[in-house]
Every structure is written in C-alpha cells, then in structure tokens.
Amino acid sequence: MKRRRIAENVYALGAVDWSRRLFDALIPLPDGTSYNVYLVQGSEKVALLDTVDPPMTDVLLAQLADVPRVDYLISHHAEQDHSGGIPAVLERYPEAKLLVSTKAKSILADLLPIPAERIATVDDGEELSLGGKTLKFVYLPWVHWPETMVTHLREDNILFTCDLFGSHLATSDLYADEERVYEPAKRYYAEIMMPFRKLIARHLEKVKDINPAVIAPSHGPIYKRPQFIIDAYAEWVSAPPKNSVVLPYISMHNSTAMLVDRLTTALVERGVVVEQFNLAVTDIGKLAVALVDAGTIVVGTPTVLGGPHPVALFAANLAAALNPKLRFATVIGSYGWGGKSVEKIADAIARSDIEILDPVLCRGLPGDEDLAAIDRLADTIATKHREMGFA
C-alpha cells in the first residue's frame, strides 16, 4: 500500500503481512500481522519512526521513493520486526541519524550491522523539534524489552507506541474497528505483554498523563479512540481474576481425558466457567488469552517416563512465563506405576501468590473413588473462587 495520511504531514507506512502464520517460531498468527512505520515531516527536518521486518524492506523503500530526505530514523524497540530495515534505510539516506534509547544502542549494535557513528541516543523526556512538529521521547522499559521507548508528537497529540497496544492483525483498515481488533489485541497482550503486566500498570499512568488523541502502534490498526485500548489494558493488567478455570491437558489412553471431562462437568455445575484445551491440537495463543482472566489453572497429564507428558510440562512452563493473574493451580492425571508428574508441574507453575491445590492422580483407569476426588476438587475450586470474590 502507499503511505496514508493520519494528520497534516504525518503518514502511516509499512507492510501488511497477510500470509504470515508464525511469529518468533512460537506464536501462531491466525490473522497475520503488520509492521507499521510512521513519517513525520516538519518544516525543517523529517523523521521516520521504526522500520519493518527484513523480508518487507523493499515494500518500505518503495513507499519512501518520493521522500528525498530523512534526517532522523527513530528506533523505539530493537527487535528485528521493527529494526530489521534500519540498515537499508540508513543506506538510502546517508544523512540520517539513528536515534535510540540509551540501552538500545548496544542491543542494536549486536543485532544489526550499523556504524556506531550513525547512532545517537536520546534521554527519557528529551524533545526534538522538526520545525512545527515536536517529538518527545518517553522511556517505557520492559514493554517488552528493556530498551523500549515511545514517541509523543505534541502538536498532533499522537502517541507512537511501537509494541505497546499492538495487535497481530493483517487488515486494510488504517483505523481500528474496536469490535474486530479486541480479540487480536488481547491475544497480543497475552503472548507478548502479560509477563510484564506489573510494569505495564505503571506505564499506563504515563500514557494517561499524556492523554493522546491518537495511539499509533507498530502492529495492527491505529486507535482514533485511545481510551478503548487503554481501558482494555487496564482491565487485563489490574482487574481481579474471573471465576474461570483454564484446563490444558493431554491424554494418551483416555484416562486423563475422563478426569478432565468429569472435572469440567463438576465445575460447571458449581457455577465455574471452564476453558478446556486439548494440547494435542490447541492453538497456544488461545490458551494464552484464556490465562489473562483465569483464577485457576488445572493441568491434566498422563505419566510418561516417570514424569508429566512433555506437552503438559510445556503448558505449565508457558503459564509460568506468561505470568497471568492466577491464584490457584493443581494437577490431575493418571499413571501406571509411579512418577513425579505433580512435583514437576507444580515446580513449573509455582509462584509466591499461587496456591497449589491437592492434586488428583489415579492409577490406570479412573474408578469411583478417583471421580469422587475430582468432585471434591471442584468443590474446593468453587469455594476458593467464592472466597476470593471472583465474578
């Protein structure tokens, strides 16, 4: 697409990656993604904000074909889906200076072949005048790398937020359809931002103080009503967990599946919402989204070589890495002769503010006593949720 105007002498560029289906060799992209770049033309200087993923560099350069001069190239975040086109842009514009946060300089030097003399650092709160367009740089570390910053275009009150408030969504819409973007934005938060939710809670206060009229992220559409995405983030980050259980499981010979089905039925009968994920086929992005609001995780696993099934352990490690607002966790499953499934899953999930509930493991096919134990576990979870006031 050609660049598109979002304000006087302010344009959206970049590339829509319609067909990409995997990010970081880990994250499913059911809706594709985009790499957004922004051009700000002042009366004296011109700034380009971020670049694109390396395979899309030619798309960006084509959009810049009739831009004779770029004085400043601003890198908000060093990850290659935003920085990968920097060398090509600097080659196209030999007069351009690359502006980065203090921590970004060494990171970019490690990732990309950029001459040191082309890089200059900006301080937190520093301002840059382009002539009628003033850019203010604001450090927001750990959203989601340590060097991240955002840029506020003061005259037009546009906040360029890079990954913060982004969504992996390939669309021809320049501006967000709020109903359409909510799920991709929540998925993006769950997969990318949730591990840093406590820091993001503080950074949201900085964003609220800026009170931008427009939020322009580097993935997905632009928000003309920033309060929509700010309010969504505030809920995802800080609202109490909901009365829901996330139940990722794997079953080899149906014994664990029988326990999972029994627990699901028992929880629903007790008024608890259950989101069940068969790890043999599940989209881990959907699992991540479910974890945003959940009060409890129950991992279902058979015993393999004396421990949990590797896929179940992966789910437990993922839940721990994503750092959701969970308050309770436990394990259900089956075994043949013994093992350490419970210990390994519990160790993976363990966190000071998570209570590990008594597990339910059965030897072989579940019997009546095992199913009764599952019912008691459902009682415990429902009671814990009521005591915590989960709605």
For 341-352, the pLDDT digits (tens) are 999 999 999 888
Burial environment of residue 309 by CB neighbours within 10 A (0 to 12, 13 to 18, 19 or more): buried
Contact assessment for residue 303 and residue 335, using Cβ atoms and an 8 Å cutoff: yes
Residue 307, strand partner residues = 304
**DSSP letter (8 states) at residue 140:** -
Task: Report the Cα 231 to chain-centroid distance in Å.
Answer: 16
The pLDDT score that the predictor gives to residue 339 is 81
Share of the chain above pLDDT 90, in %: 95
Position of tokens 């105007």?
5
Q: Which residues of 172-184 are buried (b: 16+ CB within 10 A; e: fewer)?
A: eeebbeeeebeeb
pLDDT in tens, 297-318: 999 999 998 899 999 999 999 9
**Joined tokens for residue 29:** 């992209």
Average pLDDT on 249-271 reads: 97
Average pLDDT on 331-336 reads: 94
Model pTM score? 0.95
> What is the helix, strand, coil percentage profile of the chain, to 5?
40, 25, 35
User: Left if phi > 0, otherwise alpha if psi is -120 to 50, otherwise beta: which for 285?
Assistant: alpha
The pLDDT score that the predictor gives to residue 368 is 98
Is pLDDT at 372 greater than 90 in this prediction? yes
Average pLDDT on 178-198 reads: 97
CATH 3.40.50.360 domain locations along the chain: 244-388
The pLDDT score that the predictor gives to residue 177 is 97
CATH topology of domain 4-238: Metallo-beta-lactamase; Chain A (3.60.15)
Average pLDDT on 78-84 reads: 97
CATH class of 244-388: alpha beta
H or E element, residue 361: strand 360-363
Average pLDDT on 384-391 reads: 96
CATH 3.60.15.10 domain locations along the chain: 4-238
